Chains A and B, each alone.
Chain A
Amino acid sequence: MANVSYPLDFERPLIELEKKIDELKALSVSGSVDFTSEISKLEKKAKKLQTEIFSDLSRWQVVQLSRHSSRPYFLDYVSHLFTDFFEMAGDRCFGEDPSIVGGFARFDGRAVMLIGHQKGRNTKENMARNFGMPRPEGYRKALRLMELAERFDKPILTFVDTPGAYPGLGAEERGQAEAIAVNLEVMSRLRVPIISTVIGEGGSGGALAIGVGNRVLMLQNSIYSVISPEGCASILFRDATKADKAADSLKLTAKDLKGMQVIDEVVPEPEGGAHRDHTKMAENLGKVLRKHLGELSALSPEALVQDRYRKFRALGVFSGR
């Protein structure tokens, strides 16, 4: 079980119960008193509680889970699922942006390109990673790596986890919008398989800029939205505290998006959320990635471009001709 350092309010009862169980277990080992029956009773209770809490999450709770500070981040998946990762830095233009990480690696022995948003686990890391909010350099680095992947005929796996592109002064000066736009265009015509997985937060254009894949997957408790629920609430409800309401309006969970046929597959999380068991989560994701990569590998470069184009061309809901 993962160490959940900052539990969310709604998972706290469960975490506390588990702590109690751990204490009892420790006592049983060291002492002479036998707590076996109590432990098994409490474990049953914990399991029931977990099912209760997680079987009917509100959208706002899913939003919180998607941002959970113990949630596996891109580099966690890199270490669980891939070998031989060679990180490549810089956009060859202005700088290096650590909020997007990328490089070649092996997946089941086969060389692939990995690109993902990277958040930090603590304040210091988050300062360095800019809370996973890329500047134009990050997007241009991603672009450079994707074009490299195409040149060497390697599939691209992207991992989306960002609150959004960074809204800062320098980012604007150096063409944040341009950087995102170019990625959208180039991704739509790359001649290698692309699989994009939303592993946490899919924050608007900053997420989509590495999200134009032949397959778009989402982890069960991840979100993908045109605007953050807080941003939506402050603009439309003129009250940022109504974010829970905005989350409902935006329909931003994996389940919602699968229902609207915007994404291809929901990757199941271990009960209690991805943060409770990184290894199991990575296993689940690996299985799904393997399946889709297998399917896409059978397609010719032309068919891959066509497939991706058709997919995004068809998105939209309107009436009339």
Chain B
Amino acid sequence: MAWFSKKPRIATTPEPPEAPSRMQGLWAKCESCDEIIYRQELEKNLNVCPHCEHHLPWSARTRLASLLDPDTFEEFDQGLEPQDPLGFVDSKKYKDRIKSTRKALGENDAFVSGVGRIQGHQVSVGCFLFEFMGGSMGSVVGEKCARVFERAHELKCPAIVFSASGGARMQEGIFSLMQMAKTSAAIARFRAVGKPYISVMLHPTTGGVAASFSWLGDIILAEPKALIGFAGPRVIEQTIRQKLPEGFQRSEFLLEHGMIDAIVHRRELRDKLVQILGLIG
């Protein structure tokens, strides 16, 4: 046992929230300004801190419900379930990890998808559940995502994907990596119908998800201050052996470097989507 052990000084992508505890109860605390907020007020404000406008994590289902026209969302592929093709074991068996996560969240994997309408425009949508193993992409997420584009292709309607993911899911090894190619190939086919694919990057969008379908949007939007990039900040710091500048890999930084189209406040997202769909949907 070492007397001193070196701890990483800088936190990287946030750990997936310990689901309920912080989100339950009457009060919530803003992770940015530390203000205590009345939960109902926070929820009414779309989980955006009313004091500092920080965009707190927002559940995928609530997001879809609030962006789509009321009662128009029809979910697809909810029966897809993850397998354990490698028999992967780290500190825990992957099988057990999936089992306990599925039980805790009542979700099969890290992606919810289906068809709905926005101001009457039919759209094929998908959204990551970051709380499910950091929104990591394994076979189920990749398959569901590919089907979002195939459905859009079939229905000749726009596709919208909301990304929040640490990247590929290590526990499914090479199969996770191959989902990058699979989803990108599905997009290549979808392009033929002449309908837009709008990619909305949430906090955080990194790794194999950023480096495949997320960055292939005809239009790429991001929520304010979302961490977006290929490598995580800690990996980069270890590689270049210096501290990263403030705001590096945040939405504002990417906008400045020409890597995304616009940063959109959560409150204005539906209006922007309506505007885009009106122009090219």
Question: How far is B139's CA from A237's CA once the two chains are assembled, in angstroms?
Answer: 23
Judge whether A313 and B146 touch: CB under 8 Å. yes
- Chain A residue nearest in CB terms to B183: A184
Q: Is A224 close to B, CB under 8 A?
A: yes
Q: Classify chain B's interface size.
A: 35 or more
Q: Which of B80, B175, B216, B239 contacts A315 (CB 8 A)?
A: B175
Q: Is A27 close to B, CB under 8 A?
A: no
Enumerate B87-145 residues with CB–CB distance to A below 8 Å: 88-91, 108, 139-140, 142-143
Most central of B77, B90, B189 by chain A CB within 10 Å:
B90
Chain A residues whose C-beta falls within 8 Å of the C-beta of B91 in the assembled complex: 236-237
Chain B residues whose C-beta falls within 8 Å of the C-beta of A172 in the assembled complex: 229-231, 236, 248-249
Chain A residues whose C-beta falls within 8 Å of the C-beta of B179 in the assembled complex: 315-316
Judge whether A321 and B79 touch: CB under 8 Å. yes
Q: Which of B90, B169, B176 contacts A249 (CB 8 A)?
A: B90
- Chain B residue nearest in CB terms to A315: B178
Question: How far is B172's CA from A226's CA once the two chains are assembled, in angstroms?
Answer: 9
Majority secondary structure of chain B interface residues (helix, strand, loop or mixed): helix
Q: Which of A177, A188, A257 contacts B211 (CB 8 A)?
A: A177
Q: Is A8 close to B, CB under 8 A?
A: no
Q: Is B186 close to A, CB under 8 A?
A: yes
Q: Is A102 close to B, CB under 8 A?
A: no
Chain A residues whose C-beta falls within 8 Å of the C-beta of B185 in the assembled complex: 184-185, 188-189, 212, 308-309, 312-313
Q: Is B215 close to A, CB under 8 A?
A: yes
Judge whether A167 and B230 touch: CB under 8 Å. yes
Q: Is B174 close to A, CB under 8 A?
A: yes
Chain A residues whose C-beta falls within 8 Å of the C-beta of B259 in the assembled complex: 175, 178
Most central of A180, A186, A237 by chain B CB within 10 Å:
A180
Q: Is A31 close to B, CB under 8 A?
A: no
Enumerate B156-179 residues with CB–CB distance to A below 8 Å: 168-170, 172-179
Judge whether B240 and A169 touch: CB under 8 Å. yes
Chain A residues whose C-beta falls within 8 Å of the C-beta of B173 in the assembled complex: 225-226, 249-252
A312-B182 CB under 8 A given contacts A318-B83, A318-B139: yes
Judge whether A316 and B230 touch: CB under 8 Å. no
Chain A residues whose C-beta falls within 8 Å of the C-beta of B182 in the assembled complex: 312-313, 315-316
Enumerate A12-57 residues with CB–CB distance to B below 8 Å: none
Chain A residues whose C-beta falls within 8 Å of the C-beta of B175 in the assembled complex: 260, 262, 315-317
Binding site for B on A (CB under 8 A): 165-169, 171-178, 180-182, 184-189, 204-205, 208-209, 211-212, 224-227, 232, 235-237, 249-252, 257, 260, 262, 308-309, 312-313, 315-321
In the complex, besides A226-B174, A249-B88, A260-B85, 5 extra interface pairs with C-beta distance below 8 angstroms are A226-B173, A312-B178, A316-B179, A317-B175, A321-B80
Binding site for A on B (CB under 8 A): 77, 79-83, 85-86, 88-91, 108, 139-140, 142-143, 146, 168-170, 172-182, 184-189, 206-208, 210-216, 229-231, 235-236, 239-240, 244, 248-249, 257, 259
